[in-house]
Amino acid sequence: MKKIILIILVSTCFYLNSYSQDKAGIKRAALDYIEGFYIGDTMKIKRSIHPDLSKYGYSKNDETKAYKGHLMTYERAIGFAREVANDPQWAAPQGAVKKIKILDVQDKIASVKLTLYWGIDYLLMAKYEGKWMITKVLWQAVD
């Protein structure tokens, strides 16, 4: 009986440690994504998003108030970060919100909600060779 309890305790500790490491890796990828766009850091973008990235989102036209869709690929994400780095008008305002909420974590996938100064981003991540990477993003700008 003592052996069974010991096995259960060791297994539980291993699981909790693994889950904690996953949460830290997920949060790191999300923060790299945010900061990559906020300050124009292409290294953080490359570190956080997978080359198969598909990012799609909606913003409102200022004049018509109609929503328009925008597609962003891996290459375009890196290009946008470069634009932010080269032109401060694109950078995030000082103290801009960076709220990260991990919605779900599995062995190989995770979902995250970000609240950012431009709006809400939902991230889907996958674990590649032990590293969490963003594969899909769906976003909507705030009014």
Question: Do residues 35 and 119 lie in contact, with contact meaning Cβ atoms separated by under 8 Å?
Answer: no
Q: Where are the domains of the chain?
A: 2-141
Place 20 in a pLDDT band, splitting at 50, 70 and 90.
low
CATH of domain 2-141: 3.10.450.50
Phi and psi at 93, nearest 5°, equal -65, 150
Average pLDDT in the chain: 89
pLDDT at 14 over 50: no
Phi and psi at 88, nearest 5°, equal -55, -20
* Strand, coil or helix: 44: helix
The residue among 1 and 116 whose pLDDT is bigger is: 116
Which amino acid would we find at residue 117? Y
44-92: per-residue pLDDT in tens?
Answer: 999 999 999 999 999 998 888 899 999 999 999 999 999 999 998 888 9
Which amino acid would we find at residue 90? W
Which amino acid would we find at residue 66? A
Q: In terms of C-beta density within 10 A (0-12 exposed, 13-18 middle, 19 or more buried), how is residue 12 classed?
A: exposed
Instruction: Provide the whole-model pTM.
Output: 0.84
